[in-house]
Amino acid sequence: RKEVEQDPGPFNVPEGATVAFNCTYSNSASQSFFWYRQDCRKEPKLLMSVYSSGNEDGRFTAQLNRASQYISLLIRDSKLSDSATYLCVLSVGGTSYGKLTFGQGTILTVHP
């Protein structure tokens, strides 16, 4: 089983739609969680950290469920510029402190 699993999509949604991505992880020792965004042929960039209480940044909301070991990202009022691959990322800590484990990514295409 992969450490981090994501639905690869692609998700094709119209502008203004709400879209949600889920991600599951297998290592219960995982301590830190993130969503990264990667545009086509570009490097990954940190979108937001994910906190246990859930957190929001503008149109983006991230949730963490430790009991079920999944993370979600909700995008409201989708924009054309949101089209990208969204990577679910975690860090275990301990001797692997600082090591990020990435999911394969979920492709989002927002169309007019």
The contact set with another protein (CB under 8 A) reads: 4, 8, 42-46, 87, 89, 95-105
- Quote the least distance from Cβ 13 to another protein, whole Å: 20
Of the two residues 14 and 43, which places its CB atom closer to another protein in the complex?
A: 43
Of the two residues 14 and 94, which places its CB atom closer to another protein in the complex?
A: 94
Tokens of 14: 């119209």
- Quote the least distance from Cβ 90 to another protein, whole Å: 11
Tokens of 64: 């963490």
Give φ, ψ of 52 to 5 degrees: -60, -35
Of the two residues 49 and 69, which places its CB atom closer to another protein in the complex?
A: 49
Residue 16: exposed, middle, or buried by beta-carbon count in 10 A (0-12, 13-18, 19+)?
A: exposed
- Quote the least distance from Cβ 104 to another protein, whole Å: 5
Closest CA to 100 of 4, 7, 1: 4
